């Protein structure tokens, strides 16, 4: 089971304040969702932006310009 992490920077078990991470003031990700991040022709599937950026890096690719969470 994935450890909770900041959906923005990926810090594991971040300190929380009113439901948001202290590190980035973003929501905490529990790894349950699988969404597409990138552009329609160049994307990865991940639970949040932090993990999407890790996947692009692991694959030796840069995050495409104009990337977003795809529907």
> Which tens digits make up the pLDDT trace of 9-42?
999 999 999 989 999 999 999 998 899 999 999 9
Share of the chain above pLDDT 70, in %: 99
Please report which confidence band the pLDDT of residue 58 belongs to, taking 50, 70 and 90 as the band edges: very high
Q: What is the pTM of this model?
A: 0.87
pLDDT band at 45 (very low <50, low <70, confident <90, very high): very high
pLDDT of 1 over the 80 cut: no
Which of 22, 24, 23, 31 is CA-nearest to residue 4? 31
Position 61 scores a pLDDT of 97
H helix runs in the chain, sequence order: 49-58
Distance CA(5)–CA(40), nearest Å, equals: 26
């Amino acid at each position: 089971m994935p450890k909770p992490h900041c959906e923005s920077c990926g810090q594991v078990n971040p300190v929380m304040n009113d439901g948001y991470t202290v590190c980035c003031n973003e929501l905490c990700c529990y790894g349950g969702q699988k969404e597409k991040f990138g552009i329609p022709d160049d994307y990865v599937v991940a639970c949040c932006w932090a993990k999407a950026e890790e996947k692009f890096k692991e694959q030796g690719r840069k995050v495409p310009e104009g990337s977003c969470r795809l529907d």
